Amino acid sequence: MERQEIIDGIVEILKTVRTINPDKLVGITEETDFIKDLETPSTEMINIAAKAEQKFGVEFEDDDIDGLGSKVKDIVDLIIRVKERG
């Protein structure tokens, strides 16, 4: 799975999050910060991670979530890592 495919999937997830302004979802890159750029409440990050698990068919460990940064590239890297882990 390509990184851009994952980013596109994450944008699809973010469109379902009521606390994120849809206007901010235009032009998202790997450097986009969920908290600073999208003003995502930190409590919403768990919900986004859970939706990412479902969308991409992966299961994150608690340690994965605990160490997750706040940039889009962090969750892209995590999804790729978990898929490689099997």
Q: Residue range 22-35: average pLDDT?
A: 96
Entry pTM: 0.92
**Could you give the 3-state DSSP secondary structure of residue 33?**
strand
At 66 the pLDDT is: 86
Q: Which residue is listed with tokens 């919403």? A: 44
Phi, psi (deg, nearest 5) at residue 60: -85, 145
Give 37-82 as a DSSP string.
TS---TTHHHHHHHHHHHHHT----HHHHHT--SBHHHHHHHHHHH
Q: Residue range 14-37: average pLDDT?
A: 95
CB atoms within 10 A of CB 21: 9
